[in-house]
Structure 1
Amino acid sequence: MSIVRSAPSLRLVTDATKGRSLVIASPDGVPAGAVLFSEKAYAGIVLSEFKGTICNVCYKAADPDICCDDCSEVTYCSDECQSLLQHVHDLECPVLEDIDVMVKKSGTDRDLLRLLLRMLCTRASEAGATTSSHVVVSTFDHVREMVHATHLLGDAWNASVASGAAMLLTALPSSVTASLTVHDVVELAGRVNENSYSVDSWTGQPMVTAVCMFPLAGLVNHACDPNCTWSNAGDSTIAVKATRFIPCGEEITLTYIDTNRSRDVRQRDLAATKHFDCRCARCTEPLATSVDLRVDGVCCASCGVDGLFVGSLDDQTTPWACKGCSRPVSADAIEQFKVEAASLLARADAAYAKRQYKETTDLLDDLRDHYDVHSTNASDLFLHPSHYILTKALRVLADCNTKIGNIETAYANRKEVIARLTAVVPRYSFLMGNCYFDLGDILTICLKHDVWKDDVEVAAKRAEADAAFATCVDIRTICFVEEHPLVVEARKRLA
């Protein structure tokens, strides 16, 4: 693909079984924290639920007074941002006035229809697009080179999108729709489904507020043990950064999903949403030696944490065996034990969503009593301390304890989360950065409320808080660009 030439540190290779991938071209490799490329979104939209609150160009907080008075669909943070999108919005605005009618008649997802509209209008105005020497800028042809699996999305999806596409093509002027068919637009929607990126806002508390298309980033394959991250880099661009040294010739990878989950859950998620069977190094490593044995591990109560049960994820007839004493337990019993724990966590999550923090705490304490280390249950089993169910439970428990005023307990929860995750999650990851920030934050709260009285202990806790924020800054500086709101936030807390 011609777009790869815009990223000189990379080259495109093609494998008969794996397909396309990007590998490091730099002879000396690249260090952790290196920006491999920054890419401008070919097109992107602010999700409908954030209409009026997020700028449609840079994803900062919007100024409600700077909006389109005709369609009321787009808002900006400044006149400058408005001017950057105006050549596209002039084409889409008349159609946006009727977007809800089109959605109702076709059954197409509203935001998908809006993104398709913006992509078509961007295509028609590419001649006026700006270029940059340090940011990859793509074209509609690059978008059309992206893979898609439209044929796997079902007849109902294809029919509704075709209906919406026909309405768009009818409503738009011929200067926009030239040479495009309904089939073309449906396949474009398939590319959105397969390749779009959910982008966080450029605000103090980032949240997913936009969906965008990045043709070069779309070439980066998934791995459950990735060597890169991607994040908002401001002004509707993303930056792909190395999280460790990557030698020349090694493929660069990102994760498309939350990887701190069991192997079977990850693979089901990827098959359902991205339509491929993951064959990354982590997913193909024998379970007995993989980090997945701890992430989703069950232990023997007699042997402790070293007594992990080992078996086959594919063979449900052969019992699993304890690594310590060789005690056999059926695969069904192992699975049922995890299902029961997951069910209890789901109940806690539901209570948390309703802000029932005391009830959530009770449920999570019950989960730990029956499924954590030193728990008591009829199965004589417990989940490995780094099991993803337990680490998630501890994070939610820390939030609840903070909210109900049990701040010293919340501090203990935060420390324990880090200790447990360190064994299974890479240091340079969004999750670990957040965990260290949360630890520094709860220490600050405890110090503010004089939880510790002894001067020596107070000084030690202040130093611990500073160390937590410093670690957070170190992690986030590797994972994000320097100006990212989360890096700025952590630096402020360290100052």
Structure 2
Amino acid sequence: MSQKSESDVSAEGATSQAYKVLQNDQVGRYMVASRELQAGEEIVTEVPFVVGPKACTYPLCLSCYAPWPPSPDDKPLCSKCKWPVCNQECENSPQHKDYECLVFVQANEKFNVDVALLDGNDGVPQLECITPLRLLLESERNVERWNEEVKDMEAHNKIRCEKTQWKSDHVNIVDYLRKRLKLDRFSEERIQTACGILDINTFEVRTTKGFSARGLYPTVAMMNHSCVSNTSHSISPIDYRMRLRTTLKVSTSGELYGSYTHSLLPTLLRREHLFKSKHFACACLRCSDPTELGTHMSSLKCNKCDNGIILPLDSLDSESTWNCTHCNFSTNGQAVRKILRIIQAEVDAAEAISGADGADAIYERETVMKKYRSVLHPHHAFLTILRHSLSQMYGRVDEYLLDDLPDIVLEHKVDICRLLLQVLDVVEPGYTRVRGMTLYELHAPLLFLAKGQWNAGVIDEAGLKSKMTEAATILKEAVAILTLEPPETAEGQIGLVARESLVQLEQSINNL
């Protein structure tokens, strides 16, 4: 990018002038470090411009986003507008009371409960309007921020107008707002632009009860994407305030990147997701490398020879030929995609089983891993996803609680964590939540194994101290990462527990 073609754009919310916004014709606005930034340094704190339900949402409360109705016999509606809420508190929540509630009352438009509950699992068309409506209403109330931060955000209308979603949005949102809700002061173009801004730029938020919604953070959304980012964001479940921080050291004028897809997916699926949802073809360093920066998260094992790995000739071409590195075997992108879809379906089914379901959650994941061990590279994305879940389930799931695990299972958990970290150190490097959690999960079985070996007389006091010191070093890094998270989040809570555990562990080491 030519520095001469870039223009400096003013931006608010910088922490000690940590970043500045530049702009060019190729990517529009983007963020760079205005000075050298250390890993874990806060870049910006931002409150959302708007928060609301996701697209294609299930029936939910318009305030707390809990699934609605609370029970089959209890279908509470707002006493004023007759739309779904949980209770009086949710009805009086400003984000509902001061926004769509007023519009629904004025238009005398009520929620169709029967239709919503008939096929709500596939989305409720009537709820599609909520977040775009909130965005449009906020644009009138917060004109300054709208003009400075939001109205010029990318909406990709030229691309979206050729998609089926555009037509669906026209019926469920544009016509609904302009005709049923009598909001013809908003033009069709402005409403579609609002839909595009939300579709492309929002971030997932979680409520205090763990329910999901979406929030629009205009400043943070200016970051370009990379499948190996150098930033991480945390969102408070209480006020939805976002804190953006570095995960790695960033030099002055170094670009700040976020990630807009699941980093543990293989390249083919990451690029498909980004192209479909964000309307661009990612060509970052990771996507451009057939080996995914040496992790082999997309690589398959060759069943025609002993040590061959099957890689694409061009990882940026979904139809590329895939060749074995050791023999003459080759296949095409379509065949690989078919294999990935089959395996992904089984991985998704296993991942849908929560730890609350007990030992089945572990068994199903281990079964899928064993089934495809001869097909996928040991570091393949699908195996990595399963290991990520298993790293947190061993020690927490009934029948597999940490105190009850035999040494062979403790060693298995250690192996899972170490294999996971080999991948994360490349694709989620530095001060990332997933690395912090994995380090935390790794330290505990190391301590249990060391204690068992000491009690059995396998190691002496010096050996015990060495192993405890190794665990303390790992735990110390986990603490450094997880205590950066808001204390009201699950990771933040674990960070506080980990910090107390570290103090106790270091005292135990000093007492040896």
Q: TM-score, normalised by structure 1?
A: 0.73
AA matched with 1:490: G
Counterpart position of 2:4: none
1:69 and 1:13, CA in 2 relative to 1: closer, same or farther beyond 3 A? same
Partner-residue secondary structure (3-state), 2:439: helix
Counterpart position of 1:36: 43
Partner-residue secondary structure (3-state), 1:197: strand
Distance in 1 between residues matched to 2:126 and 2:334, nearest whole Å:
43
Shift in Å, 1:432: 1.6
Counterpart position of 1:328: 328
1:95 and 1:383, CA in 2 relative to 1: closer, same or farther beyond 3 A? farther
Distance in 2 between residues matched to 1:259 and 1:353, nearest whole Å:
19
AA matched with 2:331: A
User: What does the per-residue CA deviation read over 1:68-110, in whole Å, with 9 as the maximum and x for residues that have no partner?
Assistant: 642464579989x9468765466446269736359979x9744
Counterpart position of 1:454: 455
Partner-residue secondary structure (3-state), 1:4: coil
1:122 and 1:434, CA in 2 relative to 1: closer, same or farther beyond 3 A? same
Partner residue of 2:399 out of 405, 419, 430? 405
1:241 and 1:399, CA in 2 relative to 1: closer, same or farther beyond 3 A? closer
AA matched with 1:158: W
Asked if 2 retains the 8 angstrom alpha-carbon contact of 1:394 and 1:413, the reply is no
Consecutive unaligned residues of structure 2, counting only runs of 5 or more, are: 1-7, 66-76, 117-122, 501-512
Shift in Å, 1:120: 2.5
Shift in Å, 1:360: 6.3
1:83 and 1:327, CA in 2 relative to 1: closer, same or farther beyond 3 A? closer
Distance in 2 between residues matched to 1:94 and 1:419, nearest whole Å:
57
1:211 and 1:158, CA in 2 relative to 1: closer, same or farther beyond 3 A? same
Counterpart position of 1:236: 240
Counterpart position of 2:128: 112
RCO (CA 8 Å, sep 6+): is it higher in 1 or 2?
Answer: 1
Shift in Å, 1:443: 7.7
Partner-residue secondary structure (3-state), 1:277: coil
Partner residue of 2:297 out of 292, 295, 298? 295
The yes-or-no answer on 1:18 pairing with 2:11 is no
AA matched with 2:345: A
Asked if 2 retains the 8 angstrom alpha-carbon contact of 1:146 and 1:215, the reply is yes
Partner residue of 1:227 out of 230, 233, 242? 230
Asked if 2 retains the 8 angstrom alpha-carbon contact of 1:25 and 1:248, the reply is yes
Counterpart position of 2:159: 152
Across the two proteins, how many residue pairs are aligned to each other? 449
Shift in Å, 1:161: 2.4
RMSD of aligned Cα (Å): 4.6
Distance in 1 between residues matched to 2:279 and 2:241, nearest whole Å:
26
Counterpart position of 2:267: 263
Counterpart position of 1:384: 377
1:441 and 1:99, CA in 2 relative to 1: closer, same or farther beyond 3 A? farther
AA matched with 1:472: A
Distance in 2 between residues matched to 1:345 and 1:89, nearest whole Å:
39
Distance in 1 between residues matched to 2:358 and 2:488, nearest whole Å:
35
1:302 and 1:329, CA in 2 relative to 1: closer, same or farther beyond 3 A? closer
Shift in Å, 1:477: 3.7
Asked if 2 retains the 8 angstrom alpha-carbon contact of 1:202 and 1:232, the reply is no
The yes-or-no answer on 1:282 pairing with 2:286 is yes
Q: TM-score, normalised by structure 2?
A: 0.71
The yes-or-no answer on 1:475 pairing with 2:481 is yes
1:316 and 1:192, CA in 2 relative to 1: closer, same or farther beyond 3 A? closer
User: What does the per-residue CA deviation read over 1:109-152, in whole Å, with 9 as the maximum and x for residues that have no partner?
Assistant: 4443111221222233337xxxxxxxxx9325632211112343
Shift in Å, 1:383: 3.4
Asked if 1 retains the 8 angstrom alpha-carbon contact of 2:388 and 2:420, the reply is no
1:201 and 1:95, CA in 2 relative to 1: closer, same or farther beyond 3 A? farther
1:43 and 1:384, CA in 2 relative to 1: closer, same or farther beyond 3 A? same
Counterpart position of 2:496: 491
Consecutive unaligned residues of structure 1, counting only runs of 5 or more, are: 57-66, 128-136, 376-381
Asked if 1 retains the 8 angstrom alpha-carbon contact of 2:414 and 2:445, the reply is no
Partner-residue secondary structure (3-state), 1:260: coil
Distance in 1 between residues matched to 2:319 and 2:62, nearest whole Å:
51
Asked if 2 retains the 8 angstrom alpha-carbon contact of 1:201 and 1:209, the reply is yes
Shift in Å, 1:19: 3.1
Asked if 2 retains the 8 angstrom alpha-carbon contact of 1:88 and 1:125, the reply is no
Distance in 2 between residues matched to 1:454 and 1:159, nearest whole Å:
69
